């Protein structure tokens, strides 16, 4: 069962839906995907019944909550592919993906582990990984990317970046930027 589309909802129902998605992103960003649905409902200021009426499963909520981030992820990868220098494009992709993922632990988990049965997210994740594989092949051909680099190494970098825990969002972003710099040095030929 699909969640009702935002444009077909009454104004109050649309406001509830928007608050639920905002709360879900915030809760998933700090607590990861294992966060309870009741906490999301509480933060959104709605009852659990309202949350489940809009999003009957956690998978539906995760997919909808991270659609914008997935589009941003695709845009970053597309920009990297469009760069005439594949190495520079790959470096920029790594930097920007790590920053995007540093902003939300939940998105990192959803992207790297394909949340069970979140078919829409899994399909777009597969497309993103295919584009990244192409970019890494091109970067390898330039001689700048370490010859034994494989796509799983990039996933490992994303997962490691997701493990950064700091006292503030600004500190997490700064640590993520530093980690990106170190990772790029490590994969350079």
Alpha-carbon distance values, 29 to 101, 160, 176 (Å): 9, 16, 15
Mean pLDDT, to the nearest integer, of 7-35?
A: 81
In angstroms, the CA 113 to CA 2 distance is 22
- Give residue 8's pLDDT: 62
DSSP state of 7: G
Structural domain boundaries of the chain?
Answer: 6-65, 67-187
In angstroms, the CA 21 to CA 117 distance is 19
**Equal CATH topology for 6-65 and 67-187:** no
CATH of 67-187, one of 1.10.357, 1.10.3470, 3.30.70, 3.40.630: 1.10.357
Nearest to 62 by CA among 15, 19, 101, 111: 111
pLDDT digits (tens, 9 = 90+) for 53-92: 999 988 889 888 888 788 888 899 999 999 999 999 999 9
Q: Does 6-65 carry CATH code 1.10.10.60? A: yes
Burial 7-16 (b: 16+ CB within 10 A, else e): eebeeeebeb
* Residue 134: band (very low, low, confident or very high) from pLDDT cuts 50, 70, 90: very high
pLDDT digits (tens, 9 = 90+) for 93-115: 999 999 888 877 667 666 665 44
In angstroms, the CA 103 to CA 171 distance is 11
């Amino acid at each position: 069962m699909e969640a009702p589309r935002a444009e077909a909802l009454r104004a109050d129902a649309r406001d509830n839906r928007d608050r639920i998605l905002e709360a879900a992103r915030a809760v998933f960003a700090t607590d990861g995907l294992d966060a309870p649905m009741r906490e999301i409902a509480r933060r959104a200021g709605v009852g659990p019944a309202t949350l489940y009426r809009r999003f009957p499963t956690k998978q539906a909520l995760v997919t909808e909550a991270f659609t914008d981030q997935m589009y941003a992820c695709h845009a970053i990868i597309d920009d990297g592919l469009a760069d005439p220098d594949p190495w520079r494009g790959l470096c920029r992709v790594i930097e920007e993906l790590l920053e995007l993922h540093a902003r939300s632990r939940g998105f990192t988990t959803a992207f790297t582990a394909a949340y069970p049965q979140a078919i829409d997210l899994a399909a777009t994740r597969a497309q993103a990984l295919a584009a990244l594989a192409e970019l890494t092949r091109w970067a390898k051909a330039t001689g700048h990317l370490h010859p034994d680099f494989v796509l799983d190494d990039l996933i490992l970098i994303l997962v490691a970046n997701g493990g950064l825990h700091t006292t503030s969002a600004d500190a997490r972003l700064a640590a993520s930027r530093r980690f990106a710099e170190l990772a790029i040095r490590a994969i350079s030929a």
